[in-house]
Structure 1
Amino acid sequence: MVKNPNLTLAGSDLAALLCSRVCHDVISPVGAINNGLELLDEGGADEDALDLIRTSALNASVRLKLARLAFGASGSVGASIDTGEAEKAAKDFAAAEKKTEVIWNGPRAIIPKNRVKLLLNLFLVAYGSIPRGGSVDVTLENPEFDAKFTLVAKGRMMRLPPKFMEINSGQVEEAIDAHSIQPYYTVMLADEAGMVLKAEQTPEEIIFTATMATAAT
């Protein structure tokens, strides 16, 4: 049950905006696959075209796999997910992008679905905080019970994501759209999981944490 009064999107609007976000993420690699096929049809640059198709197909695949876990149902209501699936999805996503290293620490566990979705959405927020690449260090502590997730992002041009900070603080000045739906969904998942989100920046890194509300008080 949603307790945060600032999370006011209707279910249909939430679904529509998440679908728009997923389409935005995959349209570029799918378009590149089409360009590669057109090159093959024209009979030129066969090897270059095949490389473009292979790279773009991989990029689309890892984005969809991450989206399935982060945004999709991934099983029945109330289902649990292996955190190993989340680790693989995050690492494959970063490997395909070829600009950010993901380090994953902590025990592998089967935990409630929404907690895994929160972890992956917080990963996407952390990943977006270093647009020029770098590293994201993910640490899971006691994931099955009083869970704590810590994600440390390091890289050039680091910045705390403004939309995430606004939504998490309850100070949303503009309507939620396809660009801000992912941080909104992250905050909503934390609210439903009974976890508190925090983010802080130092000169060397940005630290994101998700802590059980009972432990954070």
Structure 2
Amino acid sequence: MTNSDAIDLATMLCSRLCHDMLSPVGALSNGLELLAEEKDPEMRQRCFELLEQSARISADKLKFFRLAYGAAGGFGDEVDVAEARSVVDALVGDAKRIQVNWALSETRLPKPVVKVLLNFAHMGIDALVRGGTLDIGAEIRDGASEIVVRSAGTKVAFDESIGAALEGNLPREELSSRTAAAHMLYLLADHARGGLQYKLTGEALVLGAVLPNG
């Protein structure tokens, strides 16, 4: 990757982060404006509840992005899976109508693996526009980390350009803030000499990864 490509990717990831944060932060701003004008005690209490909800969602998203995109998780090469699980559980709780099932055989996973797992989970949550089930599994076998995330529901929505970016098949000129995270995962997998894949049907989205360790 050239310096220009790296800058473009960083710019698109920042755009994606700002897009996802705009709604809860905007709700905070609107709630404060309403609170300043509202005199009725019951309505003021309602404003406080909305502010609390928006603040929690904002904090949950920031914790997720810090671990999924940034250098969070300490200075070591591995991350405690409990940390990854907590940020995904928070996003699922904020999304509502989604049941998450975990199958993690390890207590710690390499940082690149955690980034893939978190981003897969985020894609899986986004795919369940009407709710459903999110199954997340990861294990280390034969010197490689294997990850599977499955979203199943009455309606599963997934932009296949994201899938193309995951597999390294999306032309560079078509990359955008929407596909930047998937492209980042492709680069992580390619650097590790691993691979990513996806399968989409009318009722389920399956995301898979195999990343050699070391």
- TM-score, normalised relative to structure 1: 0.85
Gaps of 5+ in 1: none
Which among 89, 92, 96 is matched to residue 90 of structure 2? 92
Corresponding residue for residue 22 of structure 1: 17
**Does structure 2 retain, via aligned residues, the 8 Å contact 1:190–1:196?**
yes
Separation in 2 of the partners of 1:76 and 1:85?
Answer: 11
Which among 13, 28, 32 is matched to residue 8 of structure 2? 13
Specify whether residues 9 and 213 from structure 1 end up closer, same or farther in structure 2 by C-alpha distance, changes over 3 A only.
farther
Separation in 1 of the partners of 2:207 and 2:3?
Answer: 24
Specify whether residues 28 and 204 from structure 1 end up closer, same or farther in structure 2 by C-alpha distance, changes over 3 A only.
closer
Specify whether residues 133 and 153 from structure 1 end up closer, same or farther in structure 2 by C-alpha distance, changes over 3 A only.
same
- Partner SS for 2:144: coil
Q: Work out the percentage of aligned pairs sharing the same amino acid.
A: 30
- One-letter amino acid of the counterpart of residue 111, structure 1: L
Cα deviation code 1:121-156 (max 9, x no counterpart): 111222222222212100112279421111111112
Cα deviation code 1:31-88 (max 9, x no counterpart): 1011111111113420121111011111101100000000011157763211111111
Which among 36, 43, 49 is matched to residue 41 of structure 1? 36
Separation in 2 of the partners of 1:121 and 1:80?
Answer: 17
Separation in 2 of the partners of 1:56 and 1:184?
Answer: 29
Gaps of 5+ in 2: none
**Does structure 1 retain, via aligned residues, the 8 Å contact 2:67–2:73?**
no
Give the drift of 1:213. 6.3
Corresponding residue for residue 191 of structure 1: 190
Specify whether residues 177 and 119 from structure 1 end up closer, same or farther in structure 2 by C-alpha distance, changes over 3 A only.
same
Corresponding residue for residue 56 of structure 1: 54
Specify whether residues 107 and 144 from structure 1 end up closer, same or farther in structure 2 by C-alpha distance, changes over 3 A only.
farther
Specify whether residues 123 and 9 from structure 1 end up closer, same or farther in structure 2 by C-alpha distance, changes over 3 A only.
farther
Report the number of matched residues.
Answer: 209
- Partner SS for 1:152: strand
**Does structure 1 retain, via aligned residues, the 8 Å contact 2:130–2:153?**
yes
Corresponding residue for residue 153 of structure 2: 155
RMSD, aligned α-carbons: 2.5
Give the drift of 1:108. 3.5
**Does structure 2 retain, via aligned residues, the 8 Å contact 1:147–1:212?**
yes
Asked if 1:32 is matched to 2:27, the reply is: yes
In the TM superposition, 1:77-116 aligns within 5 A as 79-116=77-114
Separation in 2 of the partners of 1:18 and 1:51?
Answer: 31
Specify whether residues 9 and 81 from structure 1 end up closer, same or farther in structure 2 by C-alpha distance, changes over 3 A only.
farther
